[in-house]
A and B are shown apart, each in its own frame.
Chain A
Amino acid sequence: HSALTQPASVSGSPGQSITISCTGTSTDVGGYNYVSWYQQYPGKAPKLIIYDVSNRPFGVSTRFSGSKSGNTAFLTISGVQAEDEADYYCNSYTKASTLEAFGTGTKVTVL
């Protein structure tokens, strides 16, 4: 199956804004508003932080926001903090037989 493409790593200083991209095709990211983002600390389970492109679950910091343009989705962390240092994965519903496609993952480092 084809994974969605994310940058391997993104870094920023505390207080800066950083953006992670998630590039797919018209059969997944571009075709549905069903993009979600997950945060994962080492050795821990993933946690949902954005769903349906731009919605935040209850209790998730407002520093996390999502958007989409064409076949690419974006996760922005505004005012990044040390606690945001983790791996982030995007996911999209897909017309392909797999039904679901995860991104390759991005390691966020807070300098």
Chain B
Amino acid sequence: EVQLVESGGGLVQPGGSLRLSCAASGFTVSTYWMTWVRQAPGEGLEWVANIKEDGTEQYYVGSVRGRFTISRDNARNSVYLDMNNMRVEDTAVYYCARYQYGTSATFDLWGRGTLVTVSS
């Protein structure tokens, strides 16, 4: 079955760090851009970061640039999001998604998400 499964969410204090993981199955991540999208409680979707197939390019939304790092391990068919100096406003469900980029710009496969809560 083609799927993405996120893990690593939880409760963290402001200023703390957390690493999210996204494990892919049923397809090879090395042939796709991958992305993280988040959704704060009761709010809409917000794109967070993209990473190119080979990991040589990464892009971030301004509010996380310098604090979050997206990476990938194609050998493990996985993608990661390292979050540092976290803020209350980073509280959200974080979704990993496959990103069809080049001839399109589409998030065509989504995981179920993992909840991150930043609170003291």
Q: How far is the CB of B37 from the nearest CB of chain A, in Å?
A: 8
Q: List B contacts of A99 (CB < 8 A).
A: 47, 50, 59
Contact A100 B50 (CB under 8 A): yes
CA distance A11 to B105 in the complex (A): 29
With A and B bound together, what is the CA distance between A104 and B105 in angstroms?
Answer: 18
B104 near A46: Cβ-Cβ < 8 Å: no
Interface residues of B in 14-58 (CB under 8 A from A): 35, 37, 44-47, 50
Least CB distance from B59 to A in Å reads 5
Closest Cβ of chain A to B43, distance in Å, is: 8
User: Given A48-B106, A52-B106, A91-B107: A102 and B47 within 8 A (CB)?
Assistant: yes
The interface bits of chain A over 83-111 (1 if a CB of B lies within 8 angstroms of the residue's CB, else 0) are 00000010111000111111111000000
Number of interface residues of A (CB under 8 A): 28
Chain A neighbourhood of B47, CB < 8 A: 91, 98-102
Residues of chain B within 8 A (CB-CB) of A32 are 105
A51 to B106, Cβ gap below 8 A?
yes
* B106 and A45 within 8 A (CB): no
Please tell me if the beta carbons of A47 and B110 are within 8 angstroms of each other in the complex.
yes
- On whether A38 and B45 interact (CB within 8 A), knowing A32-B105, A48-B106, A98-B62, the answer reads yes
Give chain A residues whose Cβ lies under 8 Å from the Cβ of B113: 45
Between A and B, 25 residue pairs with Cβ closer than 8 Å are A1-B62, A3-B44, A34-B106, A38-B45, A45-B111, A45-B113, A46-B95, A46-B110, A47-B110, A48-B106, A51-B104, A52-B104, A57-B108, A89-B44, A92-B105, A98-B47, A99-B47, A100-B105, A101-B47, A102-B45, A102-B47, A103-B44, A104-B44, A105-B44, A105-B45
